[in-house]
C-alpha cells in the first residue's frame, strides 16, 4: 500500500477512533432521583436512627421524611428531611442500592464514582449534615464508605439551592453503593431539602 492510500485511510478512520475512545471514557450514568411522579411514601428510600432502620416516611420522631412541593429545585417535589427532636444518635435518609458492574476485561486503574445533587437547608450548624456513600460487595456485605469518609460532602446552611459535587475511587470488589444524607447534630429544629441527585461511574482506562 502506497503512502497516499495509507494517509487517506488514517484520515478517514481517525474521527471514528476518536469517537470510540470518547465513548469508552465517558462516565456511565447509574442513577438519578428527582422525586417526581412517585407515591408520597417515597418507595425504595429508607431512613435510620442509630442502628434502627425503617422505610423513609415511617419515621415520626425524632425526624420526619416527606415529599415537599414548596420551592423544589426543579419539577414538582424535593425530598424533605426534618429534624424535630434532639438526639445525639446519627440520623440518616438513604436511597436504594445502586448496582455497579464488575470492571471490564483489560481495564486498569481506579474507577471513580461521580456524585451531583442539589440541597438547601435551615438550622444546620457547622458540619452537622453530610453526604456519604456506602460500598458493598456482590454478597451485599459492607466494604467501606466511599473515600473512607463519614461525610464525603458537607451540607452547607443555605436557604438557596446549592449544587454539591464529589468523587471517590471505588474499591475493586464494589458491586453496589447506597447514597446517604446523614445528620450528626442534635440541635433542632433543622431541615434539609434534597433534589436532582445523579450518580455516574467514570470507567478505568483500557489496558
Are the beta carbons of 101 and 146 closer than 8 angstroms? no
In the chain, the number of structural domains is: 1
Please check whether residue 197 lies inside any domain of the structure: yes
Per-residue confidence (pLDDT) for residue 106, from 0 to 100 = 62
Helix (H) or strand (E) holding 154: strand 153-154
Please check whether residue 22 lies inside any domain of the structure: no
Could you tell me the residue range of the domain that residue 170 belongs to?
28-206
Tens-of-pLDDT digits for all 207 residues of the chain?
565 555 444 444 444 443 334 445 678 999 999 999 999 999 999 999 999 999 999 999 999 999 999 999 999 999 999 999 999 999 999 999 999 998 877 666 789 999 999 999 999 998 899 999 999 999 999 999 999 888 899 999 999 999 999 999 999 999 999 999 999 999 999 999 999 999 999 886 544
Query: What's the gap between Cα 207 and its chain centre?
Result: 28
Per-residue confidence (pLDDT) for residue 10, from 0 to 100 = 47
Please check whether residue 126 lies inside any domain of the structure: yes
Please check whether residue 17 lies inside any domain of the structure: no
Sign of the CA dihedral running 112, 202, 34, 123 = positive
Please check whether residue 93 lies inside any domain of the structure: yes
Output Rg (C-alpha) for the chain, integer angstroms: 21
d(CA 61, CA 186): 13
Per-residue confidence (pLDDT) for residue 205, from 0 to 100 = 59
Please check whether residue 9 lies inside any domain of the structure: no
d(CA 185, CA 207): 46
d(CA 28, CA 198): 11
Please check whether residue 180 lies inside any domain of the structure: yes
Please check whether residue 14 lies inside any domain of the structure: no
CATH code for the domain in which residue 162 is found: 2.60.120.260
d(CA 119, CA 117): 7
Amino acid at each position: 500500500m502506497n503512502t497516499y492510500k495509507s494517509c487517506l485511510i488514517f484520515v478517514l478512520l481517525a474521527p471514528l477512533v476518536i469517537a470510540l475512545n470518547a465513548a469508552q471514557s465517558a462516565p456511565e450514568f447509574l442513577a438519578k432521583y428527582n422525586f417526581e411522579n412517585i407515591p408520597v411514601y417515597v418507595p425504595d428510600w429508607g431512613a435510620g436512627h442509630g442502628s434502627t432502620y425503617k422505610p423513609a416516611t415511617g419515621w415520626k420522631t425524632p425526624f420526619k421524611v416527606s415529599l415537599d412541593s414548596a420551592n423544589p429545585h426543579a419539577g414538582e417535589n424535593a425530598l424533605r428531611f426534618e429534624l424535630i427532636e434532639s438526639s445525639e444518635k446519627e440520623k440518616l435518609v438513604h436511597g436504594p442500592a445502586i448496582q455497579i458492574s464488575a470492571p471490564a476485561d483489560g481495564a486498569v486503574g481506579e474507577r471513580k464514582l461521580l456524585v451531583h445533587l442539589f440541597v438547601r437547608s435551615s438550622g444546620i450548624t457547622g458540619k452537622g449534615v453530610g453526604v456519604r456513600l456506602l460500598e458493598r460487595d456482590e454478597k451485599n456485605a459492607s466494604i467501606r464508605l466511599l473515600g473512607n469518609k463519614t461525610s464525603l460532602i458537607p451540607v452547607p446552611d443555605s436557604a438557596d439551592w446549592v449544587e454539591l459535587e464529589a468523587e471517590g475511587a471505588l474499591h475493586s470488589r464494589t458491586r453496589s453503593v447506597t447514597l446517604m444524607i446523614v445528620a450528626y447534630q442534635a440541635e433542632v429544629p433543622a431541615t434539609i431539602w434534597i433534589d436532582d441527585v445523579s450518580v455516574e461511574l467514570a470507567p478505568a482506562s483500557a489496558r
